[in-house]
Structure 1
Amino acid sequence: MESRESPVEMKDIDREAGGARPDPESNPKSRPPGKKRPPFVEKIISLWHKIKARAKNYWLIAKEWLLSRNMGKGDRWAFVVCLLMALSVWLYVMSTDDTSYEHTLSYVVVNLEGMENLTRSDMSVISGFDNVASVTLRGRRADIGGLTAEQVNAYVDLSEITETGRHTLPVKVDLPGYSTLVSIEPSHVTVNVDINAVKDVEVRVKIDYVVDATYIIGDPVPNHKTVMVTGPQSVLDKIEYAGVSFSPGHITTSLNLSGTLKFYDEYGRIVDNPYLKCDVSTITVSVTVTMRKTVPLTVTFESGISSNYHVEIKPGEIILLGDPKILSEINEISVYTVKINEGSVGVPLIRHISRLGLPEGVIWENADEGINISIERLY
């Protein structure tokens, strides 16, 4: 009767045989005459059959364990979960521990280093200060995968520049100790260097506002009429004036405004260069708002009785200019006080007023014309 081996018996036989069953193809005696493989191929075939046999044995062991009556359904699920977790951990470790991972960072700002040497030589940069580069690093994913463009220092060294003009310089990168540099694009940048100079620049103020017809806006007065600007000569030559702008909206009172200067060329375009320096950073501008108000004129009677007098005032009203807050409190002006029993019946009392006791800051428009008063006692 033919004997059959069980899977478990096969497993035991394989263990005794070194983990692999003999391969008929690998046995020279079972190979047809004249057919001979190279030694290298023989080794590969032998290794393949060993791996195949071991994998089969491990699968039989796992299958027997999983199908065992002593193992519950929960134990089988726990085995599967543990197997998946182990596989995930292995994949993660393999991916993070691999030092061939490459990470590209775009828009890395290329800084200019060594500016102090240019400054000592009375030189500064005209252009080339706004370059960016794309940097590719190699290393472990865990080390470089989270890097951002702001964490990488790319720069060009200006310390070797000794004359004005255009200079093409290599871009360098301060690498983290756990990474290597793969590439920089662009690998070189061009900077333009010029002589430093000084220029006095006029300050101009622009204000956009809305105002009622009764208000008068005076010319804005800056606390500096000119400023001194230092920078590259060719850039200074483009500057026509230094300007500051405000938009206060609807104006009803005097203002004090502060703003930052910008430099403009003759066409009103901004002249921008990070190496321009101004001796004044902030400009304060005062704007005087004057109200124009028509006020009626009256006379005052010391006795408090006006029925026995006939009074004529020419003009009957005047125009005042001043602070809106002050003028809002003035609704009429008494230009003369009639004393008790002053004047004679039928004889007009004529007075000319050329000055008024007005609050400080309030101006009488057309004061040179004066005021004429005629007071006639009736009885």
Structure 2
Amino acid sequence: MIKSLDSLLSSKTFLKVVSVIVAFLVWYYVAAERTTEVVRTVTLPIEYLNVPADMSISSDTRNVDVQIAAPRDVLSGKSLESIACQVDLKGLETGRHVRPVRAILPSGVRLIDIKPSNIEVRLARTSAKEVPVEVQVKGGLPPGYRLENVRLMPETVVIKGPDSKLEEIERVFLRPTVDALLESESITLRPVWGEKPEDFMDVTVNPAEVQMDYVLVRGIPRKKVPVEITLEGEPHKDYEVQGISVDPPEVVVEAPVDVLDRIREIVLPPVDIEGITEDVVFQVNVPEEGVSGISGIQPSTVRVRVLLLSRQVERMYKDVPIEIRGRSIYPSWRVEPVAAEVLVKGPPSVLDELEENGPPVELFVDVTNIVSRSLRVPLQYATASRQVKIIRVEPAHVTVFAETE
């Protein structure tokens, strides 16, 4: 019997039968593997369709869990990459809305469940505004360090989002770390405006990044501060102040940062210009005792130049008598009117001195070579000083009458 069993096992017929059975089992296993469904859960972001113009979308749900089933060979390929979850917003107005989530599946993939199957979306009108960019170092700078020559490009950005969000944002910030500042003198960062993740929801910034050039300095903080000058007294009455120049117009103040933040200007001691008659240059000491906490000011003196301008005043003289001058064929003459008013212009001191002897102008008519018994003639004048100018004489013409008796 053993011989017959060995003969059977070694026969070609038996081996063929075994081969067929093994091949069948392999085929059955592979076919079963390919046709057996596999269940899998994937987390996908929500895509929004037909977003209304000029509206922003916000929702507490950003991802959904999608449970799908498909043959193993289908899920093992790139089919998962083509799965999408969409929410259609067509025709919606501002406010809160509950919308279904629709799964877009490739061929051969079957949907089992979506969690959540509906989500709440909030639509709000969007607007934009321009806000400045400021720098806030995370954790603050170490003692003895300060930023100088900070240049932001751009200095302002445009933020866009719901009106309720934009009302809360007056400025945005660059928040570099100290380590980042130590590595270079230029850094590019995304502007931020809040501390919590929800502060950044639904708001976009244009441009998305801002370049910051700077110099990180170690030592006593310094600040350029303008100087303010005041004048005491008045120049000579023939002059007025045309302008004041200060050289240099700014001084460098050394002090702790909190002291520098309070300093807006350095006020110089008053400069006495009483009675001056020409441009004058003063050397003025810059005081340090005006603000406590200052460790130094450079330079310690500044040049103050006061520029003068000649001053002219106008004065009106009324009832200035009109004289008759010259000779003619008639024994005497009279003039009508007998006086006029004159508007003159000149230096105040000159006019004051001349007024001690009456008006600084003489009015007259010249009757030389006049043969008519009455004639309208121009009124002539002469001033007591070349510095006095006639602006107007009223009337400009008078009538002279010859008297024969």
TM-score scaled to structure 2, two decimals? Answer: 0.46
Name the structure where strand makes up a greater proportion of residues: 2
Name the structure where helix makes up a greater proportion of residues: 1
TM-score scaled to structure 1, two decimals? Answer: 0.49
